[in-house]
Amino acid sequence: MTDNKPLYQQVRERLLKRIQKGEWQPGEIIPNEFEIAAEYDVSQGTARKAIGDLADSGILTRQQGRGTFVTEHLPGQGLSRFPGFVNTAHEPLNLGSLACTCNKALASPDESAALGIERGAPVLRLYRLRTLNGTAIASEAISLPARLFRSFKPADATDALYDLYQREFGVHVVRIADKLSAVEADKRRAKELKVSIGAPLLKIDRTAFALDNQKVEWRVSLCHPQDLHYLNTGI
């Protein structure tokens, strides 16, 4: 190693590149710290710190007694890693989806800024209603860089999206940034969510990041959660 960066950062970057290239797939175990230390001719402590940094970033997941794995998004497990709606007992809720659409367009100035892409670059615009026990509680407008999701279909939007991104497109969401604010329901959302025009809604403006810190999703959700709670416990 000849880089001026600390050794653990150099090892971290090399491990990350191998994950990005698909050498270790989501859910697959990686070599242990002894093997990594030997491979890169560094101390065990340096290897442990590099692995720990990737785990802290959500890229790797440690399992006691089993080893360290490339983080895998599984249906129904999203709320264990990312913020989301829970009931009054703080139990994750499995939301449904309906009225899903998917259209290709050219990035607006807002989409360009949110996704870090050129204005006018191709994007996919998804729209869906999220439901709980058949009742719509949120509308979601989602923008994706089209080059990363070339075969996306409207029917795909009914799935758990982060699992879908990983499974079908090789896009591994490891981090999100949410901005919360209160807004008033416009005519469209009032009709969709069965609330009065001007009723208070929770706005969740989310950017999702992939392994290389690339912005891969911009999602704006307008929610009328009623007795539900939005829980963020961190990664």
| pLDDT surpasses 90 at 231 | no
pLDDT averaged over every residue in the chain: 88
| pLDDT surpasses 70 at 38 | yes
Residue 135 near residue 227, CB atoms below 8 Å? no
Cα–Cα distance, 161 to 124 (Å, whole number):
14
- Of 84, 63, 83, 59, residue with least CA distance to 72: 59
Residue 220 near residue 205, CB atoms below 8 Å? yes
3-class SS of residue 233: coil
User: Among residues of the chain, what percentage have pLDDT more than 70?
Assistant: 94
Q: Would you state the structure tokens that stand for residue 88, as one six-digit string? A: 């009054």
How confident is the model over 99-116, as pLDDT tens digits? 889 999 999 999 999 999
| pLDDT surpasses 90 at 204 | yes
- Of 108, 116, 120, residue with least CA distance to 210: 116
**pTM exceeds 0.85 for this model:** no
- Of 138, 59, 60, residue with least CA distance to 98: 138
Instruction: Work out the pLDDT band at 168, boundaries 50, 70, 90.
Output: confident
How confident is the model over 45-89, as pLDDT tens digits? 999 999 999 988 778 989 988 999 988 766 554 444 577 888 877
Model pLDDT, residue 74: 60
Residue 131 near residue 113, CB atoms below 8 Å? no
Model pLDDT, residue 80: 47
DSSP per-residue letters across 157-226: GGS-HHHHHHHHH-----EEEEEEEEEE--HHHHHHHT--TT-EEEEEEEEEE-TTS-EEEEEEEEE--T
Residue 90 exposed, middle or buried by CB count within 10 Å (0-12, 13-18, 19+): exposed
